[in-house]
Homo-oligomer: A and B are copies of this chain.
């Protein structure tokens, strides 16, 4: 790896790192170049361990030796910039002092992700990158076999998702469904019971529904949008609605991150 000091924030070689908080700019830039950003030494190391290839890495001069131990194994330039250059480049103080731009890999086929999987989570339209990151962190930590994303679900490799997931997006198997309307069909065809998480009337307590399904069943748990939950179409597609039992107390729902954590925990606990 070559180590290069770059004094000018408008240097073309730093283009991957420009205006990290400009969501629209970043979305188009990252899609166009097939890249994603990792932030902080810990997360960068996890991306490397997971086999992602860096396009480049960037350290502030105070932290210039922070990644010395991985340099030999990395075939990409390391740019060293001052903290001022970093701030004017990315648009905020880069306290952690470490960024890297990685190549995306093509997402696997649905079939490949579902092969051998028994505990699957399907995210319909979680639009908030923080929530997607947090759900991946819980799912990976608990050992969910695969996550499927509806077409409009937020990108797990967007900077904020990566950061909140602490890099769990690198190791959690997942892919995206091509289609929303018929998206659950391949999951059902592969023998999965479809459980829709919904506080609606008529839903079964999650643990009870999983017990009924049996320990050796393949289960796909459907989670809906932050505000409105699952679409009525996906609710119709599901075999059964399930809920996390609530205590009353003038609380009528969980936040989606908490609900996902509990549901993944119960799924892993019950289905082996």
Contact of A134 among B141, B172, B257, B268 (CB under 8 A): B257
The answer to whether A250 touches B143 (Cβ under 8 A) is: no
The answer to whether B134 touches A255 (Cβ under 8 A) is: yes
Chain A interface size, under 10 / 10 to 19 / 20 to 34 / 35 or more: 35 or more
The answer to whether B138 touches A170 (Cβ under 8 A) is: no
Q: Closest approach, in angstroms, between the C-beta of A133 and any C-beta of chain B? A: 9
Closest residue of B by beta carbon distance from A145: B247
Contact of A250 among B167, B248, B251 (CB under 8 A): B167
Chain B contacts of A245 at CB under 8 A? Answer: 142
Write out, one digit per residue, whether chain A residues 240-272 have a CB within 8 A of any chain B CB (1) or not (0). Answer: 000011111111011101111110011011000
Closest residue of B by beta carbon distance from A259: B261
A166 interfacial contact with B, CB 8 Å: yes
A219 interfacial contact with B, CB 8 Å: no
In the bound complex, how far is the Cα of B138 from the Cα of A257, in angstroms? 10
> Which residues of chain A from 120 to 156 have a CB within 8 Å of any chain B CB?
134, 137-138, 140-143
Cross-chain pairs A/B with CB under 8 angstroms, 22 sampled: A46-B250, A134-B257, A134-B258, A138-B255, A140-B249, A140-B251, A141-B244, A141-B247, A141-B251, A164-B255, A166-B251, A166-B253, A168-B251, A171-B250, A171-B251, A172-B249, A244-B265, A254-B261, A257-B261, A262-B262, A265-B265, A265-B266
In the bound complex, how far is the Cα of B251 from the Cα of A170, in angstroms? 10
In the bound complex, how far is the Cα of B261 from the Cα of A167, in angstroms? 21
Closest residue of B by beta carbon distance from A206: B265
Closest residue of B by beta carbon distance from A165: B251
In the bound complex, how far is the Cα of B138 from the Cα of A251, in angstroms? 9
Closest residue of B by beta carbon distance from A246: B141
The answer to whether B49 touches A250 (Cβ under 8 A) is: yes
Point out which of A141, A244, A245 has the most chain B C-beta atoms below 10 A from its C-beta.
Answer: A141
A207 interfacial contact with B, CB 8 Å: yes
The answer to whether A254 touches B171 (Cβ under 8 A) is: no
> Which residues of chain A from 39 to 70 have a CB within 8 Å of any chain B CB?
46, 49-50
Chain B contacts of A255 at CB under 8 A? Answer: 134, 137-138, 164, 257
Contact of A50 among B138, B250, B258, B265 (CB under 8 A): B250
In the bound complex, how far is the Cα of B262 from the Cα of A69, in angstroms? 37
Chain B contacts of A254 at CB under 8 A? Answer: 137-138, 141, 261
Q: Closest approach, in angstroms, between the C-beta of A104 and any C-beta of chain B? A: 19
Closest residue of B by beta carbon distance from A249: B171
The answer to whether A137 touches B251 (Cβ under 8 A) is: yes
Q: Closest approach, in angstroms, between the C-beta of A128 and any C-beta of chain B? A: 13
